[in-house]
Amino acid sequence: MNWGSGSVTAWLFAVVLAGLFASAQSGATPPNVLLIYVDDLGYGDLGSYGHPVIKTPRLDRLAQQGVRLTNYYAPSALCSPSRAGLLTGRHPYRTGIESWIPSGSQTWLLEREVTLAEILHDQGYNTALIGKWHLNADLGDTNQPQPNDQGFDYAYGHNAFQLPTNKNPTNVYRNGKLLAAQKGYTAQLYADDAIGWLAQQPSNAPFFLLLSMAEPHTSIENPPAYNRRYRQFTNGPITAIPSGLAHPPKALLVPRGPGEYYANVTYMDAQIGRVLDALGRHPNHKNTLVVFASDNGPVTSNWINWWEVNAYGSSGGLRGRKHMLYEGGIKVPAIIRYPDVVKPGTESDELINGMDLFSTIVEIAGAKTPTDRTIDGINALPALQGGVLPERTLLWALDTGMEATFALRKGDWKLLLNKAQTGIALYNLQDDPLELFNLLNEEPITAANLQAEFSSHFAAIMADPLRPKDARLEQEG
């Protein structure tokens, strides 16, 4: 990172001022934190991000109450590595979580990683995870670190995806115990549980709630009233496509149009709204940081897997989708509300990554960022208040099975590399946000500089002393 001494000094001064300002505004009690992480929502899937059809009034209102991030990137284009980056502030490859974690695999977030929940718990926070985990292979296996082992006092939810759909799910656990089939839809079930948990939180202790929604990840079902709102976009009768069967239900794989997906996003929005209403009844609701973000890009109508049929997510016109390192796979919506600290109704185009949420929340909470390991996230609070962040390099790594396995972003430039770590495409995102014009041959010096920076940066990640040696399970103790 080639920062001039003046820019470093200015940025550090801004961070100190922002921290002091946040501390003064929040008073003696650290702020509560509600972190809402949704599953597979695209950059263009909300009304406040330009979707022409989907109605998301509650999240649109949240954007009006805080800052809407227009240059926010997930740590990965898939769920498990994205969540590892969010909760540790470290590049997912440092943690060994390189892709999504299948059931029965020998991969999980190792206990030696320090999570955001652990830091806040040690800071006196009551902590809860409600919704998706997906940082191990089995929520019921005590040999694998569970949410309760990694800083969460309370955990209720599922792991990879809801079974058989998000209606009456059969794979929901509470604190490591598999429950009977839950009656209702996951958005409603998780909202209900979050509302109940919030009602139990005292006014004299801060709380951290990670509300990790299942929606709009397939397989989806919706209350009929929500499907009716978008019936003009649905062809033929609605029939659920369940997951978890011995064989794919080929007869049910019939494209029906985007109506059900639209309904699912609107239903999710309504249930998040219920949680925000419950938060508003808490005595310290004004002293609460609310963060909303998606874990990766959407499943668009460019389906890759059978279980994706009838997902119609929008990347807002960006190239690619979930599982790809084009912008559509990693650039996602994010909204932050922090009363009396973040100005309502604002936008920030500063480059922010999901790993920055770790560092930002830790700093706002008055806690200490770990110094015994590399933390890739930075405190983004200055950007949330209308300031700027230092130029830096961001790197994504994901074995997509496609042409691009790596992506490097620095300033306006983005380099895509193949599995052999050779540059294959170079884009100037300021001039070409849709990644349509490959400048690899026209800009050989820029390409060579970014190639060298990638090699150095990625080598440091792979040499991280805490990284599992085989990038899967490394037995501990």
Q: Read off the CATH number of the domain in which 44 is found.
A: 3.40.720.10
Query: Do the domain assignments include residue 398?
Result: no
**DSSP string across 323-358:** T-SSHHHHB--EEEE-TTTSPTTEEE-S-EEHHHHH
pLDDT band per the 50, 70, 90 thresholds, residue 470: low
Query: Do the domain assignments include residue 464?
Result: no
Q: What is the pLDDT of residue 469?
A: 82
Phi, psi (deg, nearest 5) at residue 116: -55, -40
Query: Do the domain assignments include residue 15?
Result: yes
Which two structure tokens, joined as six digits, stand for 316?
């807002």
pTM equals 0.93
Query: Do the domain assignments include residue 171?
Result: yes
| For residue 251, pLDDT beyond 70 | yes
| For residue 259, pLDDT beyond 50 | yes
| For residue 5, pLDDT beyond 60 | no
pLDDT band per the 50, 70, 90 thresholds, residue 28: low
Quick count: other Cβ atoms within 10 Å of Cβ 31? 27
Q: What is the pLDDT of residue 152?
A: 98
Query: Do the domain assignments include residue 450?
Result: no
| For residue 200, pLDDT beyond 60 | yes
When comparing pLDDT for 17 and 388, which is higher?
Answer: 388
Query: Do the domain assignments include residue 226?
Result: yes
> How many angstroms separate the first and last alpha carbons of the chain?
37
Query: Do the domain assignments include residue 104?
Result: yes
| For residue 10, pLDDT beyond 60 | no
- Measured CA to CA, the distance from residue 362 to residue 364 in angstroms comes to 6
Structural domain containing residue 21 = 5-392
Query: Do the domain assignments include residue 179?
Result: yes
pLDDT band per the 50, 70, 90 thresholds, residue 25: very low
Whether the CB-CB separation of 162 and 268 falls below 8 Å is answered with: no
Which residues pair with residue 127 across a beta bridge? 208
| For residue 4, pLDDT beyond 70 | no
- Judged by DSSP in three states, 82 sits in helix
Whether the CB-CB separation of 382 and 18 falls below 8 Å is answered with: yes
- Measured CA to CA, the distance from residue 41 to residue 311 in angstroms comes to 11
**Number of folded domains in the chain?**
1
